[in-house]
Structure 1
Amino acid sequence: MQNKKLVITQNLDQILIDKIKVIIPDWDLVIGKEKNIWSEHLNEAEIIVSWKKEIEKMISWNQSKLRWLQAWSAGVNSLPLQELEAKKIHTTSANGVHAYPISETIFALMLALTRKIHTYVKNQQTKKWDHAGLNLELHGKTIAILGIGAIGKETAKIAKAFGMEVIGFRHSGIPEENVDIMYTLQHLNNVLPHCDYVVVTLPYTKETHHLFGTEQFNLMKPSSFFINIGRGSIVVESELINALQDGKISGAGLDVFEKEPLDEGSPLWELDNVIITPHTSGSTEHYTKRVIEDIFIPNLKSYIQGETPAINLVDYKKGY
């Protein structure tokens, strides 16, 4: 009888591999980042950890034994969700892994824009001694956090350390610790005029597609800052550019874009009131360990007992 097969398209330390082997000692493990390591094993894999774009072209859905896919990212909009749902394959995301690094990036962007650190770094390169009109503080201001998941919760906790008023948005509208007021997205336009910082941590879905455009930026304070670490297509990028150029908002910290890599011709590169990071806000030295130990291994223990993996199980109807 052929052993069941697990394919992990990432490199793992031996310590993590050994922890997996303890749970499924009789399974064949195929582990490694290089395509030549796992490409011939895809159709035999009952579990795949970390979906690569090229897998969709290489796998045969009619022959595949896949029953569970563990994504390597929190966002799952790039996965073949229709095929996965049709084949009744469980999909779990890496949601929660990013709470610390992304919340740190959010505040790095907010503080840099508020205290003009990005401007001073540019001035340093040309040995320019200039005040740059620095006059804003972050303490005591109002922050709107769109998406109160693991990232949003951690961001709200840090915001409270700065004495900020925290306004949250989540699909359910259920209250959360460190969030002063919770809304659903239906109330977004009513809340925007009161916010000094607007932080987007939402997943990309039909509901969030182009959620932010000219109308929303016109409602924001001219002194406010826009931070997006969610997904680029949540924003109409051309209209964000117009808002930044016309002074409708004071600045933006952007980690995600409608098209990635960001086109070299994009005006965003040249705007003095924009900080760009190349979709790296979730990068951390602890990423692999957290995905495997905090999500995959607990789910694997449930799976071999005949249960559905429960941690970060994707709801195909919601798209996340």
Structure 2
Amino acid sequence: MAKKKLVITHELGQPLIEAIKSTVPSWEVIVSKDPTIWKKHLSDAEVIAGWKKEMLTYCFTENSKLKWLQTWSAGVNKIPLEEMKNRNMLVTSANGVHAYPISETIFALMLGLTRQIHHYVRNQQEKKWHHANLKLEIHEKTIGIIGVGAIGKETAKIAKAFGMKVLGVRNSGQKTEYVDHMYTPNELNNMLPQCDYVVVTLPLTKETEGMFGKEQFSHMKNSAFFINIGRGDIVVENELIAALRNDEIAGAGLDVFQKEPLESTSPLWAMENVIVTPHTSGSTEHYDERVIHDIFIPNLLNYMNDEELTINVVDYDKGY
């Protein structure tokens, strides 16, 4: 009888590989980021960790054995969820892996904009000694967190160390620790005028696409900063650019964009009130370890025991 097969499309350290193999000792485990190695194993892989767009050709054939996909990202908007739903496949995401690094990036952007660090970096390159009209501070201001999942909760927790008032938006409207008041998405425009910082941590779904545009920016204070580490398509980018140009908002810290890499012709590169980072807010030295030990192996143990997976199972109807 042929061994069941697990394919992992990322390079892992030997301790992580051994931890996986010890969980499925009777399985064949393929670990490589080289497509020439993992492609030939896709058609008979029962479990795959790490989605690649090239997999479309191999994973949805009549003879495909794929039952479960573990993604290497929190977002699943680039995965063919409808096809997987039709085939009753399980999908689990890497949601939660990013809470520490992304919350750190959020505050790096907020503090950078508030304390004019981006201006000082530019001045340093020109050997220019200039005050840059520094006057703002972050303490005791109001932050609005749009999407209070793992990242949003960690961001709220840090905000409290600065004595900030924390407002949140989540579908359920359910209260959570560190958030002073929770709103539902249809109450977003009521929340925005109160915020000194608006932080988007949402996944991209049919409901969130284009969620932030001219109307939302018009409801924000002209002294407020906008931070997006969610997905680029949540924001109507040309309307954000217009809001920045017209001083409707004070500035923006952006890690995600409608088209990536951000085109060299984009005005965002040269705007003095914008900090651009290249979709790196989730990068961390602990990424692989957290995916494997905190998500994949616990789910894999359940899978081996014919039990339901309990961590980060994607809800096809919600899209995340």
CA distance in 2: counterparts of 1:307 and 1:146, whole angstroms: 34
Q: Does the residue aligned with 1:82 lie in a helix, a strand or coil? A: helix
Work out the CA distance in 1 between the residues paired with 2:178 and 2:263. 38
**SS state at 1:291 partner:** helix
Equivalent residues in 2 for 1:139-158, closer than 5 Å? 139-158=139-158
Instruction: Provide the rounded CA distance (Å) in 2 between the counterparts of 1:61 and 1:145.
Output: 42
1:91-106 equivalences under 5 Å are: 91-106=91-106
1:163-203, Cα deviation, whole Å (9 max, x unpaired)? 00000111111110000001111100011111000000000
What is the percentage of aligned positions where both structures have the same residue? Answer: 64
Asked if 2 retains the 8 angstrom alpha-carbon contact of 1:90 and 1:308, the reply is no
Q: Which residue is equivalent to 1:116?
A: 116
Give the letter for the 1:111 counterpart: L
Whether 2:31 is the aligned partner of 1:31: answer yes
1:183 match: 183
Q: Any idea what SS the aligned residue of 2:104 has?
A: helix
Judge conservation of contact 2:198–2:225 (CA < 8 Å) in 1. yes
Aligned counterparts, 1:257-272, within 5 A: 257-272=257-272
- Unmatched 5+ residue regions in structure 2? none
Aligned with 2:53: secondary structure? coil
Secondary structure of 2:166's match? strand
The 8 Å contact of residues 59 and 66 in structure 2, kept in 1 or not, is answered as no
> Shift in Å at residue 14 of structure 1?
1.1
Q: Indicate the residue corresponding to 1:16 in structure 2.
A: 16
SS at match of 1:145: strand
Corresponding residue for residue 238 of structure 2: 238
1: CA distance, partners of 2:11 / 2:291: 12
Cα offsets for 1:49-105 (capped at 9, x unmatched) = 000111113434322100000000000000010111000000000000000000000
Q: Secondary structure at the match of 2:198?
A: strand
Amino acid at match of 1:78: K
Amino acid at match of 1:59: C
C-alpha contact 1:225 1:252 (8 A) present in aligned 2 = yes
Residue 80 of structure 2: aligned partner? 80
Partner of 1:62: 62
8 Å Cα contact 1:204/1:230 also seen in 2:
yes
Offset of residue 23 of structure 1: 1.4
C-alpha separation in 2, matches of 1:196 and 1:250: 10
Match of 2:224 in 1: 224
Structure 2 equivalent of residue 251 of structure 1: 251
Deviation at 1:143, TM superposition (A): 0.1
For the aligned residue pairs, the C-alpha RMSD in angstroms reads 0.7
TM-score w.r.t. length of structure 1: 0.99
1:3 aligns with 2:3: yes
Gaps of 5+ in 1: none
What is the distance in 2 between the residues matched to 1:276 and 1:45? Answer: 39
2:292 alignment counterpart: 292
Alignment TM-score, normalising by the size of structure 2: 0.99
Question: What is the total number of aligned residue pairs between the two structures?
Answer: 320
Structure 2 distance, partners of 1:62, 1:270, is 51
- Equivalent-residue separation in structure 1 for 2:243 and 2:308 (angstroms): 46
SS in 2 for 1:54: helix
Provide the secondary structure at the position in 2 that maps to 1:61: coil
